[in-house]
């Protein structure tokens, strides 16, 4: 198992569109394991392969309190979404420290494949419904801040670019000591 580096907004690679998985092999199993380890370490409740610079349709989610309900969603499809919407304060491991309200369908029916290539369906509501839709957006190259106003998005971009610059500087100082 290994921790994978997470891309930070506004990295342009977060806007790549992921391709479907065609072969369910040891490589995909390892990717899912490494993504799960990376998500739990953060800690987070969901992670898309796009966020670790792998542009294939793979998501890991665990919204359980005990962090013992890991599920991989490979090649996920929304089969149905409710008319009813809910607003949830979302965050993202690629947008650290930022949380804001996003409106999405309150309930979704999703079909996906597990690591063994077996199809399954989930009827999701509440936090799980939010998380599945948020992570599926990543596979389309979409980050939640794109639902916010351009003003908010630009403030977030500026803040994160500044933080990134500071991080790079302190790493540089550490390296030269
Ligand atoms: C997506 O997000 C999500 O800013 C998963 O400093 C979020 O796991 C779905 C995290 C909310 C539904 C509702 C964010 C960790 C984790 C941060 C995450 C941070 C540290 C985000
Ligand atoms: Co995210």
Nearest atom of ligand 1 to the alpha carbon of 45: 8
**Which residues are bridge partners to 89 per DSSP?**
101
pLDDT in tens, 20-50: 999 999 999 999 999 999 999 999 999 999 9
d(CA 37, CA 1): 7
Ligand nearest to the CA of 138: 2
pLDDT, tens digit, 9 for 90 and up, residues 106-154:
999 999 999 999 999 999 999 999 999 999 999 999 999 999 999 999 9
For residue 1, pLDDT over 90 is answered with no
What pLDDT is stored for residue 12 in this prediction? 98
Q: Tell me the C-alpha distance between 173 and 19, whole Å.
A: 39
pTM over 0.95: yes
Going by CA atoms, what residue is nearest to atom 3 of ligand 1?
Answer: 131
Q: How far away, in angstroms, is 175 Cα from ligand 1 center?
A: 30
Displacement of CA 169 from its chain's centroid (Å): 27
Alpha-carbon distance of 69 to 57, in angstroms, equals 20
Helix (H) or strand (E) holding 124: strand 119-124
pLDDT surpassing 90 at residue 68: yes
Looking only at Cα atoms, what is the longest distance across the chain?
Answer: 58
Q: Ligand 2 being an ion, which residues bring their Cβ within 5 A of it?
A: 92
Active site residues: 135
């Amino acid at each position: 198992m290994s921790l994978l580096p997470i891309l930070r907004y506004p990295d342009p690679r977060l806007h790549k569109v992921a391709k479907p998985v065609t072969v369910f092999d040891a490589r995909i199993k390892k990717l899912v394991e490494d993504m799960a380890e990376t998500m739990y370490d953060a800690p987070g409740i969901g992670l898309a392969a796009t966020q670790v610079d792998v542009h294939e349709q793979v998501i890991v989610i665990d919204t359980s309190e005990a962090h013992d309900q890991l599920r991989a969603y490979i090649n996920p499809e929304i089969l149905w979404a409710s008319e009813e919407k809910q607003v949830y304060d979302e965050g993202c491991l690629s947008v650290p420290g930022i949380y804001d309200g996003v409106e999405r369908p309150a309930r979704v029916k999703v079909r996906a494949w597990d690591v063994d290539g077996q199809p399954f369906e989930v009827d999701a509501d509440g936090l799980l419904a939010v998380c599945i839709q948020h992570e599926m957006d990543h596979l389309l190259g979409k980050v939640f801040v794109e639902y916010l106003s351009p003003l908010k998005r630009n403030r977030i971009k500026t803040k994160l670019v500044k933080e990134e610059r500071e991080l790079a500087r302190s790493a540089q100082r550490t390296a030269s000591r």
